[in-house]
A = this chain, B = another copy of it.
Amino acid sequence: MDADRFLALEVRLKSLEDREAIRALIAAYGPLADTGLAEDLAQLWDEDGSYAVGAMGEVTGRAAIAELIDGPIHQALMQDGCAHLLGPVAIDLDGDRATARGHSVVLRHTGTGFEAHRVSANRWELTRGPHGWVVSRRDNALLDGSEAARALLLPRH
């Protein structure tokens, strides 16, 4: 066996590791949101990363993202009882950048049961930073029939 064959194996392994790291990053979001760990959750994003939540507007930077979690809307959700359930993500790797597309469902306890409070499309833009993959931008929009929400789930051609 030669060095080329070894290198080829390393490249294939790296690609799997990248996909696994991206999946792990996104899988960490739900538990952090549900437990209200605002600082830890913000660390999933790049320093100047942004989070756009449909009609609620867009925030930039970790402090602003942490404030979303510490804010009254999210705290009320946690008080009632909530699950930020995500679906599997379709990952497109492109060197040190990647995109992941998938659904998120916020389930909310109503007192007598649970309801699907928000059902959204998500587009995660990711970057490989010095300490691993981070979110550079997340776009989230309610799947209420709007074209803009559907557009987040479109693959790049």
CB of A26 within 8 A of chain B?
yes
Q: Is A55 in contact with chain B by the CB < 8 A criterion? A: no
Tell me the A residues contacting B by CB distance below 8 Å.
1, 3, 5-6, 9-10, 12-13, 16-17, 19-20, 23-24, 26-28, 30-32, 34-37, 40, 78-91, 101-103, 105, 107, 109, 113-121, 142-146, 149-151, 153-155
Known: A28-B155, A31-B90, A83-B119. 17 other contacts (CB 8 A): A6-B9, A12-B17, A23-B88, A26-B88, A27-B88, A27-B89, A30-B90, A30-B153, A31-B154, A81-B142, A83-B121, A86-B88, A87-B88, A88-B88, A109-B142, A114-B115, A114-B119
A143–B109 contact, CB under 8 A? yes
Whole-angstrom CA separation of A31 from B156 in the bound complex: 12
Q: In the complex this chain forms, how many copies of it are found? A: 3
In the assembled complex, the CB of A27 is this many whole angstroms from the nearest CB of chain B, namely: 4
> For residue A80, which residue of chain B has the nearest CB?
B145
- Least CB distance, A59 to chain B, in whole angstroms: 23
Considering the chains assembled together, what is the distance between the CA atoms of A45 and B68 in angstroms? 38
Q: Is the CB of B81 within 8 A of A30?
A: no
Q: State A36–B143 Cα separation when bound (angstroms).
A: 13
For the complex of A and B, the 9 pairs showing the least CB-CB separation, nearest first, are A81-B145, A31-B153, A27-B88, A114-B116, A81-B144, A114-B119, A85-B87, A107-B119, A109-B144
